[in-house]
Structure formats: structure tokens, C-alpha cells
Amino acid sequence: MNHQLAQFSTATLHEALGKAGNLPSAIKPIAPGMKICGPAYTVQTIPGDNKLLHRAYAYAQPGDVLVAHCSDYYEAGYWGDLMSLGAKTKGLAGLVIDACVRDADDIEAMGFPVFSRGLCIKGTSSIEGGRLNEPVVIGGVVVHPGDIIVGDRDGVVVVPKNRVQEVVEKATARETREESIREQLRQGKTSIQIYGWE
């Protein structure tokens, strides 16, 4: 979490990107306090299969965030406590998966950040099909390997690796503006007065 984007909320980064980069709103942390920030290591699985996810955490580098698209098949628990322990031990920063996971209590207890569409107890196959570390598309957003993934309670945003500095500058400017608005609200002004809408 030492990346310079970690200081900003996902909503601020989404706005700084020009209202872009947001993954589907259904993808949320499995526990409210979980946050994630790091370069993407991308995974494309075949429906209901998780063998490639085992490879992904073995091959990814410390600090990486696994980003998995599971071919729009959600009725399986693709990831659980054992994989979380393995990934955490390797130093991975977390998992963002466009599908479901299981063993939520154990994963939460070990403090490994997992963002998913939900929880599902159904097991997976281990046929192994798909691709590793190539671009994936989740909810219309293209995620390239190395793009910076930021997640918090509100959701997940993808910051293209070649736009990080620009986004930091825009996010900083936005936060400065919002602090000025907060000060005016504390003084009793309403938001419609501040925005000149009345």
C-alpha cells in the first residue's frame, strides 16, 4: 500500500480519471475495512475453473494485485482461505475477482484483501484454461498488466500505468477543492448555495 495512489479514495480517482476506470459496483471488499493498491497481475479463467488462479499467485510478484475475470460465471467459489494464505505469504497485495469466493471469515481474519462479487460455497474444477498476465476486460474496463488497482469500501478503480502522475495531480486538486467546500458547509452554507444552483 505504499503506492502514491493509495492516499486517495476510489471515488476521487474515478473522478480524476474523467469519470472512468470503475469496475462493476457489485465488486466490493468481503470485509468493510479492506483496502487494496498495487499493480495488476491479470488472470482470465474459464467458467467455474480456478487452477489458473493457483498459478497466478505463484507467479505474481510481491505487491501485485491479482485481477481475475472468470468468463461471467459467478456461481462458484473460485478463491478461498488456503489460496489467500499462500498469496499473503508471498507478499501479494490482494485479489480483485469478477466472481465469487468462499471462506470469508478465515480470509478476513488473516487480513488478506479480497474484492469480489460475493460469496459462493460451490467448488470449482481444475481443468485449467485461460490466460495469465494479458489484458482482461471487466465491466467494459480494460485492465492491462501493471495498471494500478485501487480498492476501498466503495469499490475498485483501475488507473492506467501511463496516467498515474496525471491522476495524482488531478486527485490532489480535487481534494483541495472539496476541503474548501467542507469549510463553507461548516460555516452554514448549503451545497446549492456553494454550487450556485439557487
Q: Is 152 annotated as a binding residue?
A: no
Q: Is 64 annotated as a binding residue?
A: no
Strands of the chain (E only): list them.
28-29, 36-45, 65-69, 94-98, 100-101, 114-116, 118-119, 130-132, 136-138, 141-143, 148-152, 155-159
Residue 60 phi/psi, 5° resolution? -65, 160
Contact 50, 80 (CB under 8 A): no
Q: Is 63 annotated as a binding residue?
A: no
Q: Is 82 annotated as a binding residue?
A: yes
Distance CA 10, CA 123 (A): 31
Q: Is 98 annotated as a binding residue?
A: no
C-alpha cell at 58: 505463484
Q: Which amino acid type is present at position 171?
A: A
Distance CA 136, CA 158 (A): 12
Q: Is 81 annotated as a binding residue?
A: yes
Nearest to 75 by CA among 23, 109, 119, 18: 119
Contact 128, 52 (CB under 8 A): yes
**Residue positions forming the annotated binding site for substrate:** 80-83, 102
**Residue positions forming the annotated binding site:** 80-83, 102-103
**Residue positions forming the annotated binding site for Mg(2+):** 103
